[in-house]
Amino acid sequence: MAKKRKLKLRIDRLIIVLIVIGVVGFGLYRGASWVVGTISSYFQKEEEQTQTNEEETVTEKEYIATIVIDPGHGDWDPGANVGDVLEKNITLTTAKAIGDTLEEANIKAVFTRESDISLSNNKIEDLKKRAAMSAENNADYFVSIHVNSFEESDDVSGFEIYTKNDESQSLAQNIGSSIETFNYSKNRGIIDGERSLQVLRDNTVPSVLLELGYINNANDYAYLSDDQKLQKLGEAIAQGIINEVSAHNSETITQNNTNE
Ligand SMILES: [Zn+2]
């Protein structure tokens, strides 16, 4: 009997010891995985933080102004043309040159189109959508690019700048003077386009529509059909916009200083 009892006692002890080992072991395991988990999530968070900081640095570019650039026509609507030299391509090439130059000067360029597309199959809808982009992008100015043609005579040449209202005048003057220094074609002046041009009428910010020149005139055609010359023309237009933005910015600074 006594022997059996001893044996039973030992078995009981063994069971208790095993349970204790089990409990302590499980506890250690949970504790260890908690520690590992906490450490690794800490490092993960730090990694995420670094990534977010990097992303912020990329998008943090501070623009001094936003301009909507509208390359006229597109897709089914080629605009004016001589042979396969089409207004829709001339306006897009020029617009891209303008945008590149503006970005270099910390001015944000938003395009109404960046490829050979239209914004609608309906002309009026297409123009409405282009004009609406000023408000959608909280733009400071809207600049539309077009090319003229005059069927009756190929003697007519030069660029014209149509304006929306009085607030658009200095932008038009700055662009006009800048193109003049480029010595491209004659400046035919600033014309009120509020009533006749929908993209100006429907706009909500100071807006101009630039007719680059007459495609059926030999002098203008030599520029309009040459992508390298369009690049220079675009840079000159952008310089006019930069001059306008700078003048406006320094005016704002002076006004703020006077108020103080
Ligand atoms: Zn046009």
81 Cα: distance to centroid of ligand 1 (angstroms) = 10
Q: Higher pLDDT residue, 171 or 56? A: 171
Q: What is the pLDDT of residue 260?
A: 47
Class of domain 65-248: alpha beta
State the distance from the centre of ligand 1 to the C-alpha of 144, rounded, in angstroms.
9
| Structure tokens belonging to residue 157 | 């040449």
The rounded Å distance from CA 142 to ligand 1 centre is: 16
Span 74-86, pLDDT tens digits: 999 999 999 999 9
Spatial separation of the C-alpha atoms in residues 105 and 144, rounded to whole Å: 20
CA–CA separation, 98 and 103 (whole Å): 9
% of residues, the chain, pLDDT over 90:
69
- Summarize pLDDT for 219-241 with one digit per residue, the tens: 999 999 999 999 999 999 999 99
- Report how far residue 244's alpha carbon sits from residue 178's, in angstroms, rounded to the nearest whole number: 11
Give the residue-averaged pLDDT of 183-199. Answer: 95
Give pLDDT tens digits for 123-138.
999 999 999 999 999 9
C-alpha of residue 231 to centroid of ligand 1, in Å: 19
- CA of 128 from ligand 1 middle (Å) equals 15
172 C-alpha to center of ligand 1: Å?
18
Measured in angstroms, how far is the CA atom of residue 87 from the centroid of ligand 1? 7
With a cut of 50, say whether residue 32 has pLDDT above it: yes
Residue 205 scores a pLDDT above 70 = yes
For residue 243, the CA-to-ligand 1 centroid distance in Å is: 25
Contact of 175 with 210, CB cutoff 8 Å: yes
CA of 71 to the centre of ligand 1 (A): 9
Q: What number is the average pLDDT over the span 54-77?
A: 84
- Helix-, strand-, coil-residue percentages of the chain, each rounded to 5: 60, 15, 25
Q: Indicate the domain borders of the chain.
A: 65-248
- Please check the confidence at residue 14 and state whether its pLDDT lies above 90: no
Ligand 1 centroid to Cα of residue 94, in Å, is: 13
Instruction: Please give the distance, rounded to the nearest whole angstrom, from the Cα atom of residue 91 to the centre of ligand 1.
Output: 9
Please state the rounded mean pLDDT for residues 50-58: 52
Full-model pTM: 0.76
**pLDDT top residue among 200 and 29:** 200
**Residue 203 confidence (pLDDT) above 90:** yes
Distance, CA of 116 to CA of 118 (rounded, Å): 7
* Percent over 70 (pLDDT), the chain: 73
How far apart are the CA of 183 and the centre of ligand 1, in A?
23
In the reported structure, the alpha carbon of residue 151 is separated from the centroid of ligand 1 by a whole-number distance in angstroms of 14
CA of 244 to the centre of ligand 1 (A): 24
Residue 182: what pLDDT? 84
